[in-house]
Amino acid sequence: MSKKVLVAMSGGVDSSVAAILLKKEGYDVSGVTMCLGIAAEGDGARCCGADAIDDAKSVCDRLQIPHYVFDYAAQLENKVIAKFVSEYEKGRTPNPCVDCNRHLKFANLLDKALVLGFDFLATGHYAAIEKNEEGYFLARSKDKRKDQTYFLYPIPYEKLGNILFPLARLTKEEVREAAKKASLPVAEKQESQDICFVTQKNCQEFLCGRVKELNPGPIVDIQGKIMGRHRGIIFYTIGQRGGLGISHKTPLYVVSIDPKENRIVVGEKKDLMAKGLLAGEMNM
């Protein structure tokens, strides 16, 4: 009996080709799209919106495989968006894709797939899973330019045995070509580079609708001299150069953000350099 695989399909070319490859390898393939309660976009490029669900369904129809839609709107709000906003309020720049993988795709969705009788959950990520005498581990994909192992680092090692990354040994160009050969309706679809739940013009506009209040404050140099005023710390990230509203003889960058004092510290490029870092949320 063929092993059963549930493919997480975003409506894009990568997950669509992942489904094709698995079907060719003889797996019993089904597709699933996570409905995140996101409004459809006019260009159809944003993942997990209404347009994306339709695109994933059309691919599954072409491949003659079942397609399911699971509602993850509440989980997205509670596990990903809430933290996203909170981190900006703390002066940090979060990566919501990491948290989506941590709490949704490779937690709840994977667990649900196994409960429903599937042997594996597969995605269109550019990453590889390898095995040695100690067990499974994440490895970089063939396409180093598109490699996504960083976004997948929180996956518990004990779950890797139930995950498949069919694109591990392909480049983006090879994936696109495979989609064209299969005459997939998404073969020429634009690649989404946006945060899926930010349907506004930009991230700042999204945050403005989420934070309780914007608190303007001082912009100071590394000696503490006031250089200007900021509009609220959510609008800034470390390393940022533009949008400071400061005229200076040399380019200034955001060096640090102090949420307790509600101030932005700026300095020259050399001031961004550091001898070390503090790392958290490790997965060893």
- Which is catalytic among the residues 47, 48, 60, 100? 100
- Check if 35 is active-site: no
DSSP string of 242-271, one letter each residue:
TT-----SS--EEEEEETTTTEEEEE-GGG
Closest CA to 205 of 252, 197, 51: 197
CA separation for the pair 89, 93 (Å, rounded) = 9
One-letter amino acid for residue 214 of the chain:
L
Contact 3, 27 (CB under 8 A): yes
Residue tagged active-site, from 47, 48, 60, 196: 196
100 is catalytic: yes
Q: In sequence order, which residues have a C-beta less than 8 Å from that of residue 8 and are 6 or more positions away?
A: 15, 32, 33, 34, 105, 109, 121, 122, 123, 124
- Active site members: 100, 196
